A and B are shown apart, each in its own frame.
Chain A
Amino acid sequence: MNQNLTNTRVMGLPSRWIYLTTTFFLVLSGFGQMPIFKRYYVADIPGLGWLAEFFVTHYIHYLGAIVFLALTAFLITDYWMLKRNWRRLTASGYVRIALLTGILISGALLVIRNLTGTNFAPELIIFLDLIHLGLVMMFVFVSLYCLIFKKHWTTER
Chain B
Amino acid sequence: MGQQISRRSFLKGGMAAAAGVAASSIPGTEALAAPDESKQLATLIDISKCIGCEACVDACSEVNAEKYPNPQKPFPKMVPNRVPVEDWSEKQDVNDRLTPYNWLFIQRTDVEIKGEERELTIPRRCMHCVNPPCVKLCPWGAAKQLENGISRIDSDLCLGGSKCKKVCPWDIPQRQTGTGLYLDLMPSMAGNGVMYKCDRCYDRVAEGELPACIEACPEDVQTIGPRQEILKKARALAKETNGYIYGEKENGGTNTIYVSPVPFEELNQAIEKGKGKPHLKPVEDTMAQANNLAAAMLIAPVAGIAAAVGKYIKRSKTVSKGA
Contacts and interface: CB of A to CB of B under 8 A. Distances in A.
Interface of A: 1, 33-36, 39-41, 54-55, 58-59, 62-63, 65-67, 69-78, 81-82, 108-109, 111-126, 128-130
Contacts of B301: 69-70, 72-73
Interface string B72-87: 0000000010110000
28 contacts: A34-B161, A54-B166, A58-B137, A59-B289, A62-B290, A62-B293, A63-B293, A67-B300, A69-B304, A70-B304, A72-B301, A73-B308, A74-B308, A77-B305, A78-B312, A108-B297, A114-B287, A114-B290, A115-B35, A115-B131, A117-B35, A119-B35, A120-B31, A121-B25, A122-B144, A124-B27, A125-B144, A129-B141
B305 A113 contact: no
Given A66-B300, A73-B305, A39 B82 contact: yes
Interface string B149-183: 00000100100011100110000000000000000
Contact of B293 (A66, A71, A73, A128): A66
B214 interface: no
A55 B28 CA distance: 29
B30 A124 contact: yes
Given A73-B302, A81-B308, A116 B82 contact: no
Interface in B118-158: 130-131, 136-137, 139-141, 144-147, 154, 157
Nearest to A63: B293
B27 A121 contact: yes
Name which of A109, A116, A124 has the most chain B CB atoms within 10 A of its CB: A116
Contacts of A112: 294
Interface string B294-321: 1011001111110111011001000100
A77 B83 CA distance: 49
A126 B252 contact: no
B147 A119 contact: yes
Can you list the 8 inter-chain pairs with the closest CB atoms, starting with the nearest? A117-B35, A73-B304, A77-B308, A126-B141, A74-B304, A73-B301, A35-B161, A125-B141
Contacts of A35: 139, 161-163, 166
Given A70-B301, A73-B300, A114-B294, 12 more contacts: A33-B137, A54-B163, A55-B286, A69-B301, A73-B302, A73-B304, A74-B305, A77-B304, A82-B311, A114-B131, A121-B24, A130-B140
B83 A39 contact: yes
Given A81-B308, A119-B33, A111 B294 contact: yes
Nearest to B154: A122
A116 B137 contact: no
Interface in B22-65: 24-25, 27-28, 30-31, 33, 35-37
Contacts of B31: 109, 120-121, 124
Q: Is the interface of A mostly helix, strand, loop or mixed?
A: helix
Interface string B212-247: 000000000000000000000000000000000000
A4 to B, nearest CB: 9
Nearest to B152: A122
B297 A62 contact: yes
B162 to A, nearest CB: 6
Contacts of B161: 34-35
A23 B302 CA distance: 20
B304 to A, nearest CB: 3
B4 interface: no
Contact of B297 (A65, A77, A123): A65
B185 to A, nearest CB: 13
B27 A116 contact: no
A117 B309 CA distance: 37
Name which of B25, B130, B146, B289 has the most chain A CB atoms within 10 A of its CB: B289
B291 A115 contact: yes
Contacts of B33: 119
A143 B140 CA distance: 25
Contacts of A72: 301, 304
B131 A116 contact: yes
Nearest to A120: B31
Contacts of B24: 121
Contact of B312 (A71, A76, A81): A81
